[in-house]
Structures are given as structure tokens and as C-alpha cells.
Amino acid sequence: MTGNILEAKGITKYFHDPVTFQVLKNISFAIKGGEFVSITGKSGCGKSTLLYILSTMDTDYEGELLIDRVSMKGRKEAELAKVRNVKIGFVFQFHYLLNEFTVLRNVMLPALKMAAKSPEEIEHQAHEKLKILGIESEALKSPNKLSGGQKQRVAIARALINDPIIIMGDEPTGNLDKKNSENVYQIFKELAQAYHQSLLIVTHDAEFAARTDRIIEMEDGAILNN
């Protein structure tokens, strides 16, 4: 993949409650296909807010956002949901797996929603993703029977299921111990190198950030250095 898969042009955002406050100040940058990028900065600097705008979940901003060279401005809620479904994979600080479903079904859900393939194909694919992450043996368990590190790996498998053009992570290692954080980093690294998966990870873990291809450092709602 070449070219800019994600481009932010002068993104500005205000919080209005309790007082009007500018969280993001004219942020512009671009991410190329296959890049492993991290956004760092102190807590409260607006990095998560930026991620939610980039992920299309937050639509209340000024400026322009292009995903896959298509502007996201003024799109309907259902269209944005489709963009998230097809083009973006998410990994959050908390795993957000549905305990009502098995691990396998959790991974399958976004693909079932996309409905581009038959359920059998999707199941096969989900097994493959779990295999990449080394947790294939847990496929039929309920998520609440898994350890924290395993859950996060399931969440990554779920992010991968639709072969998104970019994976976004909001403090994906924030809830994990040293060993599991390292694990997750290794997974991301492998995805970036072996599969040329683009990744955009928000983290305040300097050690984690330092090992990524590119660091975007933020302070007080602006990019400090890129």
C-alpha cells in the first residue's frame, strides 16, 4: 500500500462544557500505508480526542479528515459506521468483548456485519486471525474465562477480521503488565512488518512509542514534533 491512507487537515476541536476550551489546535498530518505510527503526549493533551475524530466516531470538529482519500466531512451516521466497519480496526484500553458470545463469534461479528462473505468463510478467517495471535485453542471459550492478555489479543483479532486499511489503538497496553504489553507490541510489530498493516497507536508509554516507526508527539492540543 502506498500513498496517504489517512490524512488530517487542520483539525480543530472545542469542548464547550463547562467552559469553551480548545482541545485540538489545527492538527495536520498524514499516514502512509504500512506505517507503524504512535501518538504520545501527557495525559490531557488531546491525543485520545484526536484518535476518536480520526476514527469517525466523533464528528464534532472543524477541519478535514480523509480516510482512503475520501473526505469524512458531512457523512451520515450509517455511512460512517460502514467506514469503521470496513476500513478501521479498533483496539481499546479495555477489551470490550461481548461475554454473551464465544471468542470466535466476537472476532466474527464485524465481518458478519459487513456480510461480504459467507458465514463459513468468515469463521475460517476468524480461526486464521486467532492463529496469527496464538490463541486459536481458546476459540470456543467465553471471553470471561480468558486472562487479560488473551482478551486483548482477541480484541486485536477482532480488529483484523475485515482486513482494515488501518488499525487504531487507544492505550492498547494501558491495562496490561510488562510481559503482556511486550506481547502486544510484538504482535503489532509483526503485523506491520509481515503483513504491512498500518497502525496508529495512542499511548503514553514512552518505551512502547520509541520502538515504533514514527512518533507524533503532542502537547496542549498541538503537534510538538512529527
Partner 1 sequence: MKFGLIFSVAKSLLLARWKQTLVAAIGVTFSIAMFISLLSFMTGLNDLLDGLIMNRTPHILLYKEIQPSKQQPVELDFRYKDYHNFVSSVKPKNERLDIRNNRAIIDVLEKDKRVLGIAPKITTQVFFNVGVINLNGVINGIDVISENELFLFDDYVVAGNYQDLNNIPNSIILGKGAAEKMLAQIGDVVQVTAVTGQQVQLKVVGFFQSGLLEFDNVQSYASISTTQKLLSESNNYVTGIQIKLNDVEQALPVAREYEQLFGINALDIQTANAQFETGSFVRTLISYAVGITLLVVAGFGIYNILNMMIYEKMDSIAILKATGFSGRDVKNIFITIALCIGIFGGLLGLVFGYTLSSIIDQIPFITAALPTVTTYPINYNPNFYIIGGVFSIITTYLAGYFPSKKASKVDPVVIIRGK
Residues that bind partner 1 (CB under 8 A): 48, 52, 55, 57-58, 77-78, 81-82, 84-86, 90, 92-94, 96-101, 109-110, 112-115, 158, 162, 170
Minimal distance in Å, beta carbon 225 to partner 1?
A: 26
Our CB check for partner 1 shows the closer of 98 and 210 to be: 98
- Report the residue number, 110 or 221, with the smaller CB distance to partner 1: 110
Exposed e or buried b for every residue in 52-80, given b needs 16+ CB within 10 A? bbbbbeeeebebebbbbeeebeebeeeeb
**With the CA atoms of 90, 215, 8 and 4 taken in that order, what torsion angle do they form, in degrees rounded to the nearest 10?**
-80
Q: Which is nearer to partner 1, 48 or 211 (CB)?
A: 48
Is the CB of 153 or the CB of 158 nearer to partner 1? 158
CB of 2 to partner 1, least distance (A): 26
Please identify which residue in the block is written with the cell numbers 479495555. 94
In a 3-state reduction of DSSP, which class is residue 147?
Answer: coil
Q: How far is the CB of 99 from partner 1 (least distance, A)?
A: 8
Q: Of the candidates 29, 38, 35, which has an alpha carbon nearest to the alpha carbon of residue 66?
A: 29
Closer to partner 1 at the Cβ: 53 or 223?
Answer: 53
Retrieve residue 205's grid coordinates.
Answer: 508509554
- Nearest approach in angstroms of CB 122 to partner 1 is 11
Handedness of CA 164, 105, 193, 223 (dihedral sign): positive
Q: How far is the CB of 49 from partner 1 (least distance, A)?
A: 9
